[in-house]
Structure 1
Amino acid sequence: MKQTRSLFHRFLMGHFLFIFLPPIVLIFFSAFIGFSGVNEEGLNTLNLFYIILLLFGFIIVAFVVISWLFFLRLRKRLTRLQETMSFSANNNSFPKPVSVQTDLMDEIDQLGSSFNWMIQQLEDSRKRESEEELLRHRLIANVSHDLRTPLTILKGHVTRLNKESMSLEGQNSLIEMNHTITRVGDLMDDLLSYTLLTSGKHPFQPTSTDIVRLVRASVAAWYPIFEELEIQFDVDLPPETTFYWVADPKWMTRVLDNLFQNILRHAAKGKYANIVVDVEKEQIIVADRGPGMDHSSYERGAGIGLSASKYMLKKMKLKADFISTENGTRVVIGRA
């Protein structure tokens, strides 16, 4: 930006004039008096000393006053700019532009103009990011919805082929195809659920929630499924005591559903699942004896569902600690 005037140049010019102009005027004045023939003996030595002392006193006072006024005005302008910048940090809001003199701009005005330009760039960037986020959510939702139809058709053909007579190798291939189609459908459901969750489509309604009661209801819903698959389901819930979290009951149920579903998808071979509610530590513990999260089965599918669970827990000011080895995975849910 082209500089039209300099704040410090004006400051130095003003001091130069007040320091050097009075002596120069005095010299010319004395020369004029001498030229006009005025008797110089009229000014005795004492009066000359007082005049010089008065002149230097005036110069010092003028220097202090001008410096004080200059820095006071400079401080006010910088303080106004600093308050505008710190307002957004203290109130978690976007900063507002500062007023700038566009006709004659000094260094402070140039700083304010650069600050306004930065705000405009940030606003444009935030607007583009919001539009891209909305477009991405809409694209994921549409793709997830559109892929359901071909998956349903494929699943129907696999079911029809199961009724046909074929070799054992062909039947194994059909079983693997059916599992793959089911897994892709589950991944699409997780992706759609996570997209809707992060875009605010699933409302967050926190309330004081009885955690033991919520976990007991979730265990009762999943127990028949684990029993059907012959998975040992050990449950340790306190019969009388409980604790409360300010959380969304539907979101907490979805988190537990995701953990139980991951056990069925990736740790069913361990034939064991355990859930414990520790009232003293206010923790929910879910464990299995599967191959661990480093196993390729987890890498193929558990990421989206776990990301959704972590997002919901963070929103409820909770956290989940994962301890995974080749002998199983242990998830501890507690306060953040």
Structure 2
Amino acid sequence: MKQTRSLFRRFLKGHFLFIFFPPIVLIFFFAFIGFSGINEEDLNTLNQFYVFLLLFGFIIVAFVVISWLFFLRLRKRLTRLHEVMSFSANNNSFPKPVSVQTDRMDEIDQLGSSFNWMIQQLEDSKKREYEEELLRHRLIANLSHDLRTPLTILRGHVTRLNKESMSSEGQNSLTEMNHTITRVGDLMDDLLSYTLLTSGKHPFGPTSTDIGRLVRASVAAWYPVFEEKEIQLDVDLPTEETFYWEADPKWMTRVLDNLFQNIVRHAAEGKYANIVVDVEKEQIIVADRGPGMDNSSYERGAGIGLSTSNYMLKKMKLKADFTSNENGTRVTIDRA
């Protein structure tokens, strides 16, 4: 942007004129006008002293006044720019553009113009990000919906082949195919749920929630599944004591369902699950004796579900700490 007028150059020019212009005018006045009508006897030394004292005082006063006016005006313009920036920072919103005088365009106006350009770039970037997010959510939702039809067809063929006579090796392959189809369907459900959740399609209603009661209900619902997989349950769920979190009960149940589902899917070989509600520390602890999160099966299957759970916990101002090794995985949920 081309600079047309300099603020500080005008400041220096004004001070230069006030310092040197009055003495020059006075000299010209005495040289060409004043001495023609004044006798030398009347212009004595004392009068000269008063004249120069008056001139010096005028220069000092003019210097102070013009400096004060300059910096007062400069402070007003900088304060206005600071208020716009502070308002956006305090309200977590984009700042409003500042007014710029294009006919002046000094250093402050150039700063304001650059600030306005930055705001425009941020707004354009936010708009593009929002449009890309909508496109991604729409694409994932459509893919999740469209892929259900071929999965259903595959499952139908597997069911038909199960009725045919074949070797035990063929039966094992069909069983593995059926499990794979189920796993893919579950992953699609997790992906669709995460997409709907991050796009705000799942309502969030935090309320004071009895965590002990909620965990007991979740464990009771999952008990038949653990029993079917021959997983030993070691629970410590106090019935007389409890604590409360400001959380969405449905979201909290979904988080626990994800943790229990991961035990069934990826840690069933450990045949053990430990579920604890620590009232004193206000924590939920879920542990298993599976192969750990470094296992490829766990990494492949649990990523989307854990991302969904972490997103929900963050919205509820909670957190999940994971400790995992070859001897099992331990998850501790508490306040963020």
Number of corresponding residues: 336
Task: Measure the CA separation in 1 of the matches of 2:12 and 2:229.
Answer: 88
Give the C-alpha shift of residue 35 in structure 1.
Answer: 6.5
SS of 2:95's partner is coil
Give the C-alpha shift of residue 171 in structure 1.
Answer: 2.2
Aligned to 1:318: 318
SS of 1:329's partner is strand
Task: Measure the CA separation in 2 of the matches of 1:276 and 1:38.
Answer: 109
The C-alpha deviation readout for 1:224-283, integer Å capped at 9, x for no partner, is 111112111222111211111110000000000000000111001111111111111111
SS of 2:308's partner is helix
Equivalent residue letter for 1:275? I
Equivalent residue letter for 1:262? N
Aligned to 1:9: 9
Q: In the alignment, does 2:94 pair up with 1:94? A: yes
Equivalent residue letter for 1:242? T
Task: Measure the CA separation in 1 of the matches of 2:71 and 2:190.
Answer: 62
Aligned to 2:297: 297
Using the aligned pairs only, state the percent identity: 90
What pairs with 1:106-255 in structure 2 (closer than 5 Å)? 106-255=106-255
Equivalent residue letter for 1:174? L
The C-alpha deviation readout for 1:111-146, integer Å capped at 9, x for no partner, is 111111111111111111111111111110110110
Provide runs of 4+ in structure 1 moved above 3 Å. Answer: 33-38
SS of 1:187's partner is helix
Q: Which runs of 5+ in 2 are unaligned?
A: none
Q: In the alignment, does 2:285 pair up with 1:285? A: yes
TM-score, normalised with respect to structure 2: 0.97
Q: Which runs of 5+ in 1 are unaligned?
A: none
Equivalent residue letter for 2:123? E
Mean CA deviation greater in 181-190 or 285-294: 181-190
Task: Measure the CA separation in 1 of the matches of 2:28 and 2:40.
Answer: 15
Aligned to 1:259: 259
Equivalent residue letter for 1:187? L
SS of 1:214's partner is helix
Contact 1:211 1:245 in 2 (8 A): yes
Task: Measure the CA separation in 1 of the matches of 2:197 and 2:294.
Answer: 26
SS of 1:196's partner is helix
Distance 1:133 1:282, change over 3 A: same
Task: Measure the CA separation in 1 of the matches of 2:4 and 2:39.
Answer: 50
SS of 1:40's partner is coil
Task: Measure the CA separation in 2 of the matches of 1:16 and 1:3.
Answer: 22
Task: Measure the CA separation in 2 of the matches of 1:262 and 1:240.
Answer: 29
SS of 1:41's partner is coil
Distance 1:32 1:307, change over 3 A: same
Give the C-alpha shift of residue 95 in structure 1.
Answer: 0.6
The C-alpha deviation readout for 1:137-180, integer Å capped at 9, x for no partner, is 11101101100110111111112112222223322222222222
SS of 1:129's partner is helix
Mean CA deviation greater in 268-277 or 249-258: 268-277
Contact 1:34 1:40 in 2 (8 A): no
Equivalent residue letter for 1:135? L
Contact 1:4 1:105 in 2 (8 A): yes
Aligned to 2:75: 75
Equivalent residue letter for 1:73? R
Task: Measure the CA separation in 2 of the matches of 1:332 and 1:2.
Answer: 60
Task: Measure the CA separation in 1 of the matches of 2:287 and 2:113.
Answer: 58
Give the C-alpha shift of residue 306 in structure 1.
Answer: 0.3
Give the C-alpha shift of residue 34 in structure 1.
Answer: 6.6
Task: Measure the CA separation in 2 of the matches of 1:295 and 1:41.
Answer: 111
Task: Measure the CA separation in 2 of the matches of 1:41 and 1:32.
Answer: 18
Contact 1:247 1:316 in 2 (8 A): yes
Equivalent residue letter for 2:74? L
Aligned to 2:65: 65
Equivalent residue letter for 1:119? I
Give the C-alpha shift of residue 30 in structure 1.
Answer: 1.2
Contact 1:235 1:276 in 2 (8 A): yes
Give the C-alpha shift of residue 62 in structure 1.
Answer: 0.6
TM-score, normalised with respect to structure 1: 0.97
Equivalent residue letter for 2:237? L
Task: Measure the CA separation in 1 of the matches of 2:48 and 2:268.
Answer: 108
What is the root-mean-square deviation of aligned Cα atoms in Å?
1.2
Task: Measure the CA separation in 2 of the matches of 1:164 and 1:40.
Answer: 137
SS of 1:42's partner is coil
SS of 2:147's partner is helix
Task: Measure the CA separation in 2 of the matches of 1:326 and 1:116.
Answer: 55
